[in-house]
Each structure stands twice: as structure tokens, then as C-alpha cells.
Amino acid sequence: MLTSFRSNLETRKYSKALQGYLEPFQLSLEKLQEVSHRLRRDMTRGLGKHSHHNAPVKMLPTFVRATPDGTEKGDFLALDLGGTHFRVLHVRVVEEEQKVLKMDSQICTIPTDMMLGPGQQLFDHIAACLGDFISSRNLKGQTLPLGFTFSFPCEQKEIDKSILIRWTKGFKCSGVEGEDVVKLLKEAIQRRGDYEIGTVAMVNDTVGTMMSCGYRDQSCEIGMIIGTGTNACYMEEMKNVKRVEGEDGRMCINTEWGGFGDDGSLKDIQTTFDVMVDEASVNPGVHIFEKMISGMYLGEIVRLLLVKLTEDKFLFSGQASETLLMPGSFETNVIYPFISAEHSLENVEHILTKLGLKWDEVDARVVRVCCDTISSRSARLCAAALAAITNRIRNNRKLGHLKTTVGVDGTVYKKHPNFGEELQATVRLLAPACHITFMVSEDGSGKGAAMVTAVAQRLARQSRLLEDSEGEDEEEEEEDENN
């Protein structure tokens, strides 16, 4: 019940007026189906030999040609760079136990000025942290293979060669865009000269998520991230990957679906607040879809809506605080207590008071509705994108029904109280012929990077074994002819 100082008539008028602000965020199932079809069209463009140049959804080949089969083993280093922190890990893959064990890890901070400074400074910092980890864990002297998770749009040329297309997530380091990030890392390590690494496998975080789940569930052929940013990968038929030679088998494609809408195709569902978020970002016009659904932006969309409601005297008696008017002050993790049934009113009170606001129960309920509405749109748009992938896989394989597993990672999916449930319910409606199991990744960016490296080594060993056996067959044939 709303507080008694407002009559039922006032409440009805209030609710109707509020609905006018929320309606642009409430997408019908028909509109979501339309969005899903647009993404499928853009995916085809991104896979094309010539059309990919202008495609907003880049559909980048990863050169990962297989998912785990359970025979992988060994010790690996993993380096996970995707935000304001990065991690270094020592990972052990144990074949007998079908486990990927994290032996040890270390988190390193990237200062804000370093995110915007020279690229060499950033990679020297990464190399220094990697060296400290190797030294402190007594791994010096071992030349371990490295799985390198680099969660930015890259064009991968080989498993160990990856060109940064553009920075996202607040990074703007000079001298890196258009360069091979594996080469930049190796050069930084060489400048130090006090340790060595083995082969490097370049891994997008979505691929790492898929691979870490794939070791536990070998039907996992999709990886999805919904955290600070958002992205997905999946196993595509080689015959459709026009930019890479070969027709047989499959290859993991990093969709970079965050760029969906960069050509203006989502303007009909962008709200005024989405446009404001985009214009205020470090990369206006880039990664439009990501800015509508990911954790880096959801809180800011809510804040802008709350400011507008306050200006129009629907909230806080028309009095906004200095904190609420400050960009970035309403972070995405602030949304969760407003929505979760487990969080008490005291938590909500604490948040609103911390924002310097004078509020009442009606204000708290309106903020909750705003948080819920914007979160719901995020989950439903994500479902539309995932439905585009699952429907494509099913059509590729000419199946009446597809059964597959999606490996998922990211703070929004893991911490938002309703996000996963709404995403799953919506994707069932948009892809009714697909039975999808969702598996939360256990440290996908770290363990998954090690798995990609392990699978690459397994395939290389199998390739060498095949070459050896072919040579032996020829020798046997020669012996038979001589006899």
C-alpha cells in the first residue's frame, strides 16, 4: 500500500503519468523478435568475406576449432585483462579427475591514468605483475604456456596473433589499436628479461567462458558474458566463415554483439536516456547494444531517469541532491537491493540517504519500479540476441530441435536477483525449438583461457600424430611393394 497522504485517485494519476516515462523501455515480444531477426541478418553480414568490413556485428574468427574432449592436461598460466583490474593465474588441468584447478591467482589494479596513457606503459605494467606472480609462486625456470584473455574487440589472425580493433570500457591507450596485442605483451616481457613464457593462446572472455563450461559439459557450444560489458561466442560451421580457408568442421566465432546497432539499426528502441549515455561515453556511437544492457551503463540509465522524474516533480518533492546529479553516482550494483526481496527496507533507506536525498515510501517504490523496468529491458534484449544465435545454430545443422548449453559469466547475470530468470523465460519464447541449459562459468576467463591453450596443444599433438602415422603408412606400402 502506498502511504496514506496520497489518495487513490492521486495514486492512479501518478501511476499513469509514471507509465509514460517507463513505456519506451517496455519492449513487446513482437519487437524483441524483430530485434532478434535484425541481429541474425547482421551476423550473416559479419561472416561475409566482403560484407564484414561494414558490418556492425564483427563476427570475429577465433581460430578455436574444437571444444574440450576431456583428455586435456597440464599446467598453464592465464592472464585475464578486461577492465580496471586484471588477474594472473596458475591453472592445472587434471585429465583423470576431469577438473580444471586454479592453483593460485593474483589481482592487479590498473590506475585510471594508465587506462588512458601510452600502450607501452600498460603492457610493461602487465608484464611486471606477471613477473611478480611467477617469482612469488616459485614458477621461475618453468616455461609454461599462457592463455591470454583480452576482452576487447580484436581481429584474430591466428591463435597467437590478435589485432585490437578498438578500445572499449573506458580504455583509450595510445599505440595499441591496430596492433597485435600478443606481440606487445611478448615485447614487454622481453624488455624485462627475467622470465620466459611458452606458447600463447589468445582468448576472448566469452570463449574462455564457453571452454571452461565445455570441460564439464561437452554440449556447451555458446559462451555469453553479461557484466561490465556484454558479448557472446558460439561454434559456427566452417563453410559459413567466409574469411577463413576451409569448409570442414567448426570454428568458434566471437560475435562482438555489443556493436549491434552501431549502424543505427536500433534507433527505434533507443530512449532519450540511452542517447545521453552514449553521447557522454568515451566512445560515442560505438557499442550501442552494450550501452543498453551491460553493467557499465545500467546504473547511469536509471540515474538519468530518476533525475528527469525529479525535475518533473514526480520524485523527492522535486529536489535532486548534488550526488544524484553527478554522473556515475548511481552504480549498477545499487540496483540490486531495490529489486531483491531479500534486501530489507533498511538497505534501501541507506542507499537513498547516502545519495543525499529526502525521500518517502512512494519515492522508494518508484525507484524500485525504474530499476526493475530498465533491468527487465536488459534481460529481454539479451534474450533476443541469444535467441538469434541458438536459432542460427539450429538452422545451420538443419535440426527440428536443438539441445545445447550456454556457459554464462558476468556480474549482472550472477548478482542481479531477477536477470537470469527473465532472460531464460524470454529466450524460451523467442527460440521455442531450442532447449537451452544455462551453466554459470567457474572462473571462465582464467580456467577457460587455460582450456583454450590445452585444446590447442591437444589438436597440435593430434595433428603431429596424424602426420607421423601417414608417413608410417607410406613406409609400410613401400615395404609391401618390395616384398
Question: Would you name the residues annotated as active-site residues?
Answer: 169, 205
C-alpha cell recorded at residue 323: 550526488
**Nearby residues of 123 by Cβ (< 8 Å), 6 or more positions away:** 184, 185, 187, 188
Could you tell me the sign of the dihedral formed by the alpha carbons of 160, 163, 167, 168, in that order?
negative
Full strand arrangement of the beta sheet holding 99-109: 99-109, 85-94, 74-81, 146-150, 200-203
Task: Please give the Cα distance from 229 to 234 (Å, whole number).
Answer: 17
Answer for the pair 356, 324: CB distance below 8 angstroms, yes or no.
Answer: yes
**161 by DSSP, 3-state: which?**
strand
Give kind and range of the element (H or E) at residue 339.
Answer: helix 335-339
Task: Please give the Cα distance from 176 to 44 (Å, whole number).
Answer: 28
C-alpha cell recorded at residue 37: 531477426
Whose CA is closest to 110, among 86, 132, 88?
86
Residue type, 261: G
Residue ranges of alpha helices (H) inside 87-159 are: 112-116, 119-136
- The secondary structure of the chain in percent helix, strand, coil, rounded to multiples of 5, reads 50, 20, 35
Could you tell me which residues are beta bridge partners of residue 174? 118
Whose CA is closest to 180, among 119, 131, 231, 232?
119
Answer for the pair 101, 247: CB distance below 8 angstroms, yes or no.
Answer: no
DSSP label at 447?
I
Task: Please give the Cα distance from 453 to 375 (Å, whole number).
Answer: 36
Residue 212: C-alpha distances to residues 101, 109, 152, 366, 406 (Å) = 11, 24, 19, 40, 11
Residue 49 CA to its chain's centroid (Å) = 25
Task: Please give the Cα distance from 377 to 298 (Å, whole number).
Answer: 10
